Amino acid sequence: VNRLDLILQHVRNVPDFPVQGIVFKDICPILKEPKALAAVIDLFEEHVRQKHPHTELIVGLEARGFLFGPLLAQRLGIGFILVRKKGKLPGPTVSVGYTLEYAKAEAEIQADAVQPGQKVLLIDDLLATGGTLHAACELLKMQKAEILGCLVVIELKDLSGAEKLPVPVFSLLQC
Residue ranges binding ligand 5GP (CB under 6 A): 24-25, 27, 61, 64, 124-132, 161
Q: Nearest CA to 83 among 113, 60, 55, 114? A: 60
Active site residue ranges: 64, 101
Cβ neighbours of residue 33 under 8 Å, at least 6 residues apart?
10
Q: How far is the CB of 77 from ligand 5GP (least distance, A)?
A: 26
Q: How far is the CB of 54 from ligand 5GP (least distance, A)?
A: 26
Q: How far is the CB of 10 from ligand 5GP (least distance, A)?
A: 12
CB closer to ligand 5GP out of 48 and 131: 131
CB closer to ligand 5GP out of 116 and 161: 161
Rg from Cα positions in the chain: 16
CB closer to ligand 5GP out of 74 and 129: 129
Q: How far is the CB of 123 from ligand 5GP (least distance, A)?
A: 10
Q: Where would I find the H helices in the chain? A: 3-9, 28-32, 34-51, 65-76, 131-142
Answer whether 116's CB lies under 8 Å from 132's CB. Answer: no
CB closer to ligand 5GP out of 49 and 168: 168
Q: Is 67 helix (H, G, I), strand (E, B) or coil?
A: helix
Q: Is 32 helix (H, G, I), strand (E, B) or coil?
A: helix
Peptide bond into 18 cis (omega under 30): yes
Cβ neighbours of residue 63 under 8 Å, at least 6 residues apart?
none
